[in-house]
Amino acid sequence: MTAPQAIERIDAYPTRRIAGFPVRAGRPLPFGATPVPGGVNFSVYSNNATGMTLVLYRAGEPEPMAELPFPDAFVIGGVYAMTVYDLDAEGIEYGYRAQGPFDPERGHRFDPTVVVADPYARLMSDARTGPRRSRVALDDFDWEDDRPLRLPHEDLVIYELHARGFTRDPSSGVAAPGTYAGLVEKIPYLRELGVNCVELLPVFEFDENDNPRSHPVTGEPLANYWGYNTVGYFAPKASYASTGRYGMQADEFKNLVKQLHRAGIEVILDVVFNHTAEGNEYGPTISFKGLDNATYYMLTPDGHYYNFSGTGNTLNCNNPVVRGFVLDCLRYWASEFHIDGFRFDLAAILGRGPDGALLANPPLLETLAYDPVLRDCKLIAEAWDAAGLYQVGSFPNYCRWSEWNGRYRDTVRRFVKGDTGVTGDLATRMVGSPDMYAQRGTSATVNFVLCHDGFTLNDLVSYNGKHNEVNGEDNRDGDNNNQSWNCGVEGPTDDPEVLALRARQMRNVFMILLASQGVPMILAGDEVGRTQQGNNNAYCHDGPLTWFDWRLVERNADLLRFVRRAIAFRQAHPVLRRGPASEVSWHGVRAWTADWSEHCRLIAGMFGTGADDCVYVAANSHWEGHLLELPEPPQGTAWHLFADTAAPPPFDAREPGEEPVLPDQSHVEVGPRAVVVLVAHSQAEQRDNGKEE
């Protein structure tokens, strides 16, 4: 039996020549540059342009090799589409000149002297090797049997990292430092740590050199290190790829995702749809501004840019065209790169209408929540913006969205440094913040204490104030409300008592975070005590200040071991990840009698009631220790000691399943500024394991 042959288009031939190239009317969809039999189909949208020209370059050359105006017959609605034949797809770069009015008061900023980038460009050239231009991507990566992992939300331990900074330091020892390939070499470290999800700071193409400031001491140019000024939404960052100069960044990034999945680790991307790299009316024209400014940006009635992002412009996300652009982008990353979820920067902006007003039912957020392609993707909102809109606990969620829980961060910081009046709030945060997320469950809250924006954990316990002088803004930038405490000395010290207290405070933060219901997120490097020397806004430093120093893995091995065991303990006990808050009982110095008074700095919770899984967590931020009366463990079990952050290493945490039985089953001592964690094991099991003391 002969297999049927695929039917080829009968109109796949040129109909005319433009600038020496054979062409024909193209297909309007999909947008972008798409290889087709014999050529490349180019499609770009502009509702307000009066004409459009395709500009072709030989890769790396400064001047165009051809400019092809779109004939009127090649325009359908607001879409300019043309198929160009006899092109070497891998050997060309391209852009567009858009003709139209320059009338800023009406929102139009067309400038045909500028060649703008394709918003749908799947690749962009590496700016280190020449001008940044759009390129054509080929779809030839072999995923084998890779699929998104679909891990339950509550089971995630998220690890936020910078794709370059994680391995850029020479101490990383990888073959290609600062690249996707280098990150692949560190997957065994991630597995051993126990995290099962990495959240990558922006990896969409951006310009790391667009910072106008200089280092106030060295005079060297500062960088845009974090990457929140996106240039190409469909293009993986070329300079993060060891093969970027050869145009292989998409394949290298796909291999990173594939290898992480093989290790059981999901991938979440930090995406930025609230603004672009084009800034306000004084910023550069890169893409949207030159193609259709009035469509893509929120504009005031007199044509200026609304600035809800704090960066100069605000993307007009609830315009139907822009909404489609965002949806296309996320579908592309989910389907073509097997991404498991997205974290949306300043996501509250995505709920604003074209005039900036808050929408009751934001169509973009609803569309993303119900999109069939994105059904299994995690959607995580940073539920605030730079204009004062704060929606933690009230973000339009459609029973799909999770939120970075800023209230969890603030409460844990205040409790650990010893503030009064937060014990009750800490209890609420530790059971998944049901005051905010009762209907959605513990998967709705992403609990974190530190993230890229702010102090590292080491600095949180080493500095009372920010030290951002090297950012070139006279220490005016960065948050002033850090809720930090230096343990008695500002910055570095050799005082052994101060160092011991700081180490204990870091263990306290980790233990509370990993014993809280919800989804914990860890900032990369905190598990080994990484410092940024008190800088809480290090967005502009691409150097040792922000890179992961791998020598700390050995130097702070005790802290790393503690974190590994705490993560493993969490994974061994589902009661710490999910379950109704009603199954958690609260205690104090006396069992079954929690002290919710203003002055109290002690709280203890018993998670679970059954013999199969029951954990007792006591957190004390008082500078004195306390003897706590214990509730009886479930029948047939006895209390065993997993962690005591006041104990010297390695007795601060045990291997899960190997905890020694507590000698006194009725009381436990919790030290000054310490956390104690007990677990109920069956007595029969204990005798079998020969662990009774």
Catalytic residue list: 345, 382
Give the CA radius of gyration of the chain. Answer: 28
Name the residue among 569, 568, 526, 572 with its Cα closest to residue 549.
526
Please, where are the H alpha helices in 235-319?
249-262, 288-296
Q: What is the Cα–Cα distance from 344 to 358, expressed in whole angstroms?
A: 17
- A 10 A CB-CB count for 360 gives 8
Helix axes 406-417, 423-430, angle to 10 degrees: 130
Within the chain, what is the greatest distance between any pair of CA atoms? 90
Q: What CA–CA distance (Å, rounded) separates 672 from 505?
A: 11
List, in sequence order, every residue forming a beta bridge with 197; answer none if it has no partner. Answer: 158, 266
* Residue 205 and residue 124 in contact, taking contact as beta carbons nearer than 8 Å: yes
SS3 45: strand
CA dihedral 543, 546, 549, 550 (to 10 degrees): -110
User: For residue 155, what are the contacts with CB-CB under 8 A and spacing of at least 6?
Assistant: 196, 571, 577
Write out 202-214 in H/E/C secondary structure: CCEEECCCCCCCE
Which residue, chain included where needed, has tokens 């130097």? 555
- The pair of structure tokens assigned to 511 is 């233990």
Cis bond upstream, residue 216 (ω within 30): no
Bridge partners, 221 (sequence order): 214
User: How many residues does the structure list for the chain?
Assistant: 693
- From the number of C-beta atoms within 10 Å of its C-beta (0-12, 13-18, 19+), residue 518 rates as buried
Contact 639, 678 (CB under 8 A): yes
Q: Hey, how many other C-beta atoms are within 10 angstroms of the C-beta on 475?
A: 16
State how far the Cα of 366 lies from the Cα of 421, in Å rounded to an integer: 38
| Number of other CB atoms surrounding residue 302 within 10 Å | 9
The C-alpha atoms of residue 496 and residue 399 are separated, in whole angstroms, by 49
Contacts of 281 (CB under 8 A, 6+ apart): 104, 109, 304, 305
